[in-house]
Amino acid sequence: MKVPRAQLRSAIRALCADFGNDYWQAADRARSYPREFVDALTEAGYLACLVPEEYGGMGLGMTEASLILEEINRSGANSGACHAQMYTMGTLLRHGSDEQKRKFLPGIASGELRLQAFAVTEPDAGSDTTRIRTFARREGDRYIVNGQKVFISRVRQSDLMILLARTTPPAEGRKRTAGLSVFLVDLREAGDRIRVAPIDTMINHESCEIHFDDLEIPVANRIGEEGRGFRYIISGMNAERILLASESIGDGLHFIDRASDYASARRVFGREIGANQGVQFPIADAYMQIRAAAAVRDQAARAYDDGETRGEGPNMAKYLASRAAWKAANVAMDTFGGWGMASEYGIERKFREARLYMVAPVANNLILSHVATHVLGMPRSF
Ligand SMILES: Cc1cc2nc3c(=O)[nH]c(=O)nc-3n(C[C@H](O)[C@H](O)[C@H](O)COP(=O)(O)OP(=O)(O)OC[C@H]3O[C@@H](n4cnc5c(N)ncnc54)[C@H](O)[C@@H]3O)c2cc1C
């Protein structure tokens, strides 16, 4: 499907206009899931934008998906409530069998099946994914899973979840990335074999701790070959990084829109505060940094759509965008003076939300390490 970009942008803006600052402030205060907003996006088909048309999706590319998330966040909304419905299915699409795709993708495209949980992080492994300990032991036509995950977002709003687990213990002389496998967990059938408890964080993000107690997964729900899961997960991370960079760019532009409007209207000492270079220059500087990050993101999205599989572009886009958004967040805070901290203005909420992308889905230090070693060829530090 071809959708002109300008048309897509204005359609997203129109949809988001029904969910203004009051809506998001109320959800943030109540720590409630913004269901009405997610339903509206689902009904309009945007969360299925990356699902091929043959499975009922819009069949758009990473470039258009990026634009959708950027516009959502630019409006002041928070895509974090549902962004994973867009890209988590990529693991299934790229590495699943035809039968798995036929079984699950149409339901995911319509929104009937919510696949927006992605379980990788563990308390002891942290950023070193190869050290995860959640283990899936094969017994006939099933796997029996035991272990623990942390910060698994939207698991309570999902029917399906992608899970990374060990299927072979780490062994001397073997690559640390070997022996990991990916599964599609049907949460509706899990019963008390999965215990979920929310983790209270500084943003309204529905992140949870999960314990697996002898969870049974049919072998038919393993994605791809046993032991090659790390490779499958990494391939999905490129899409995630480009898309979350887009959210940061949207956040950054939201801060710039708000700060420049406020600076042009607020009068102190008999003139608009934005007439002072000490106020306007930081806004202009932050804006240029967002535009620079957006250019790197655009390049990464185009390359992804053309089949690029290396992590360089997506990682750099995520790093630059998260930092540009964080800079803009601080500039907006300064511009609003004391009112930046008053929740009714929504700046402090977005400030908290924008901070997440400095650490998730991958900590920025790990991106520096990737660029230093994989792009520039310097010695590895770990
Ligand atoms: C709100 C939220 C939602 C999340 N959602 C999900 C989800 O849905 N699914 C999921 O699987 N995970 C999720 N995560 C987890 C997230 O991906 C991790 O928090 C992140 O990857 C960092 O891991 P960690 O918190 O264990 O930090 P650690 O790995 O303990 O790192 C702590 C600090 O040390 C630094 N550091 C570590 N090692 C090195 C090194 N070798 N060199 C330099 N610096 C280093 C890091 O940069 C970081 O600043 C979420 C996290 C949050 C906060």
Note the pLDDT tens digit of each residue in 319-337: 999 999 999 999 999 999 9
Closest CA to 88 of 48, 34, 37: 48
User: Does the C-beta of 134 come closer than 6 Å to ligand 1?
Assistant: no
Distance CA 255, CA 284 (A): 12
* CATH topology identical between 5-110 and 231-375: no
User: Rounded to the nearest whole angstrom, what is the distance from the C-alpha of residue 359 to the centroid of ligand 1?
Assistant: 6
User: Does the C-beta of 153 come closer than 6 Å to ligand 1?
Assistant: yes
pLDDT of 251-267, one tens digit each? 999 999 999 999 999 99
pLDDT at 229: 97
- CATH for 115-227 is 2.40.110.10
Distance CA 77, CA 17 (A): 10
Distance CA 68, CA 46 (A): 8
Contact (CB, 8 A) for 279 and 266:
no
Nearest CA to ligand 1 atom 24: 126
Nearest CA to ligand 1 atom 35: 365
Distance CA 346, CA 339 (A): 9
User: Does the C-beta of 382 come closer than 6 Å to ligand 1?
Assistant: yes
Distance CA 56, CA 39 (A): 17
Helices (DSSP H) in the chain: which residue ranges? 5-17, 21-30, 35-43, 62-74, 83-87, 89-95, 98-110, 229-265, 277-305, 312-335, 347-355, 364-370
Burial letters 305-315, b for 16+ CB under 10 A, else e: eeebeebebbb
Distance CA 255, CA 25 (A): 16
For the chain, domain boundaries: 5-110, 115-227, 231-375
**What kind of fold does domain 5-110 have according to CATH?**
Butyryl-Coa Dehydrogenase, subunit A; domain 1 (1.10.540)
Q: Between 3.30.300.10, 2.40.10.10, 1.20.140.10, 3.40.50.300, what CATH number should domain 231-375 receive?
A: 1.20.140.10
* Residue showing tokens 């203004």: 20
- For residue 212, what is the enclosing H or E element? strand 207-218
Nearest CA to ligand 1 atom 14: 151
User: Does the C-beta of 152 come closer than 6 Å to ligand 1?
Assistant: yes
User: Does the C-beta of 129 come closer than 6 Å to ligand 1?
Assistant: no
Closest CA to 359 of 318, 311, 301, 300: 318
pLDDT digit string (tens) for the chain, length 382 residues: 778 899 999 999 999 999 999 999 999 999 999 999 999 999 999 999 999 999 999 999 999 999 999 999 999 999 999 999 999 999 999 999 999 999 999 999 999 999 999 999 999 999 999 999 999 999 999 999 999 999 999 999 999 999 999 999 998 778 989 999 999 999 999 999 999 999 999 999 999 999 999 999 999 999 999 999 999 998 899 999 999 999 999 999 999 999 999 999 999 999 999 999 999 999 999 999 999 999 999 999 999 999 999 999 999 999 999 999 999 999 999 999 999 999 999 999 999 999 999 999 999 999 999 999 999 999 999 9
Q: Helices 347-355 & 229-265, crossing angle to 10 degrees?
A: 150
Is the N-terminal amide bond of 361 cis, ω within 30° of 0? yes
pLDDT at 292: 98
Instruction: Locate the ligand 1 atom nearest the alpha carbon of residue 368 and give its number.
Output: 43
Judging by DSSP bridges, how do beta strands 194-198 and 142-153 pair with one another? unpaired
